[in-house]
């Protein structure tokens, strides 16, 4: 039976289900162009990313691939040029200055790579954790110590930054980021200045925040071992998400990490550079649909016209 005109009108009025639905973090076709002295740099070139509430996700990629740009957008520090960026239902492109301030104070917590940037050196660890609560006007007695304890740095409560190791400072920084009970923690190469053993403790602290407080955690890192420690690793190349590694437990309890290429909504896919090089693929490939997979071949030699 044909639909009636009013049924069609009702259907047209219904908004199409948005990309990412009600996921905690949704980036849809995100673009960020920097203009400096007449030169344009496209740092994000239509990046898609969906992260659910309570996920612990690592973002990896070469230097210059757009990782920090992405985190700056998600933290509300930077506004993208185009696309959609939505966190906890809030639209990061159109939010008012007042909402942005509230967002940065209470919805999201941020940890920088440079340990010195995360803490005020003239305050003790405990005072550093109390500061964001005081700024938000919601001091909570005992909260700072609780957080320092959870992250294994209670012994640093009375110390200032020069009296703490780099790893201790970063764990205190996580406590600062958690002070106002954010829904989301973002960390940009939090272990970039640390050795591997200390890095492990910082990752442990982030995992603890995720598991015990239910906070969504997104970590940018170039530590290749991190994908063994998180549920999902998203690879970024040239300002786009290009691969995902999913970690799961096998039948015998062993950890299996499987890498996938990311397919965007219109069907675009990035082939790994080394695969393309191995078969000298350039510009054009031939595709063939098989019953359970798609074959990709280098283009045939073009017959010359003369
Ligand atoms: N403030 C800026 N002004 C101009 N170009 C920038 C700025 N920030 C980053 N870029 C450029 O954008 C690209 C992505 O940078 P970035 O997000 O910092 O990458 P990553 O964190 O992955 O190393 C790089 O080419 C970088 O030079
Ligand atoms: Mg960076």
Task: Report the separation in Å between the CA atom of 40 and the middle of ligand 1, taken as the mean of its atom positions.
Answer: 11
Residue 239, sorted as left (phi over 0), alpha (psi -120 to 50) or beta, turns out to be left
Closest atom of ligand 1 to CA, residue 72:
17
| Phi, psi of 301, rounded to the nearest 5 degrees | -60, 130
- Say what the pLDDT of residue 16 is: 57
Pairing of strands 216-220, 56-60: parallel
Which residues have CB less than 5 Å away from ligand 2 (the ion)? 68
Domains of the chain: 53-79+96-261 (3.40.50.300)
Write down the pLDDT at residue 304: 61
pLDDT tens, residue order, the chain (306 aa)? 677 777 777 776 766 566 777 899 999 999 999 998 889 999 999 999 999 999 999 999 999 999 999 999 999 999 999 999 999 999 999 999 999 999 998 899 999 988 888 999 999 999 999 999 998 888 888 999 999 999 999 999 999 999 999 999 999 999 999 999 999 999 999 988 888 888 889 999 999 999 999 999 999 987 767 777 788 999 999 999 988 988 888 888 888 888 899 888 788 888 888 899 999 998 899 999 999 999 999 987 766 665
Which residues partner with 31 through β-bridges?
Answer: 45, 82
Q: Distance, CA 93 to ligand 1 centroid (Å)? A: 19
Tell me, in angstroms, the distance from the centre of ligand 2 to residue 60's CA. Answer: 10
Residue 302, pLDDT score: 65
Ligand 1 surroundings by CB, under 6 angstroms: 34, 36, 41, 43, 61, 63-69
Note whether 118 and 153 are within 8 A (CB): no
pLDDT of residue 21: 79
pLDDT, position 129 = 97
Dist. CA 24 → ligand 2 center (Å): 23
Give the residue, by CA position, lying nearest to ligand 1 atom 4.
34
Q: What is the pLDDT of residues 237-268, one digit of tens each?
A: 999 998 898 888 888 888 888 889 988 878 88
CA distances, 238 to each of 32, 36, 209, 216 (Å): 12, 19, 31, 25
Pair of tokens at residue 183: 């829904």
């Amino acid at each position: 039976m044909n639909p009636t005109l009013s049924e069609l009108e009702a259907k047209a009025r219904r908004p199409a289900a948005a990309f990412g639905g009600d996921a905690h973090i949704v980036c849809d076709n995100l673009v960020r162009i920097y203009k400096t002295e007449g030169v344009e740099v496209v740092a994000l070139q239509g990046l898609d990313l969906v992260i659910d509430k309570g996920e612990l996700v690592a973002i990896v990629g070469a230097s210059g691939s757009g990782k920090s740009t992405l985190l700056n957008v998600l933290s509300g520090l930077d506004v993208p040029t185009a696309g959609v960026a939505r966190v906890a239902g809030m639209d990061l492109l159109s939010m008012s200055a007042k909402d942005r301030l509230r967002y940065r104070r209470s919805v999201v917590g941020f940890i920088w790579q440079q340990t010195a940037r995360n803490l005020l050196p003239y305050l003790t660890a405990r005072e550093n954790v109390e500061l964001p609560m005081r700024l938000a006007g919601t001091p909570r007695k005992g909260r700072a110590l609780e957080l320092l304890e959870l992250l294994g740095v209670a012994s640093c409560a009375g110390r200032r930054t020069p009296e703490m190791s780099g790893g201790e400072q970063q764990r205190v920084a996580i406590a600062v980021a958690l002070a106002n009970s954010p829904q989301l923690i973002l960390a940009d190469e939090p272990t970039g200045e640390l050795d591997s053993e200390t890095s492990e403790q910082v990752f442990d602290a982030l995992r603890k925040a995720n598991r015990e407080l239910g906070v969504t955690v997104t970590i940018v890192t170039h530590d290749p071992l991190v994908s063994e420690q998180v549920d999902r690793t998203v690879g970024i190349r040239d300002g786009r998400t290009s691969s995902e590694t999913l970690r799961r437990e096998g039948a015998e309890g062993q950890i299996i990490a499987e890498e996938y290429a990311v397919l965007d909504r219109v069907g675009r896919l990035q082939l790994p550079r080394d695969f393309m090089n191995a078969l000298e693929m350039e510009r054009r490939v031939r595709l063939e649909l098989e019953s359970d997979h798609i074959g990709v071949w280098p283009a045939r030699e073009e017959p010359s016209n003369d």
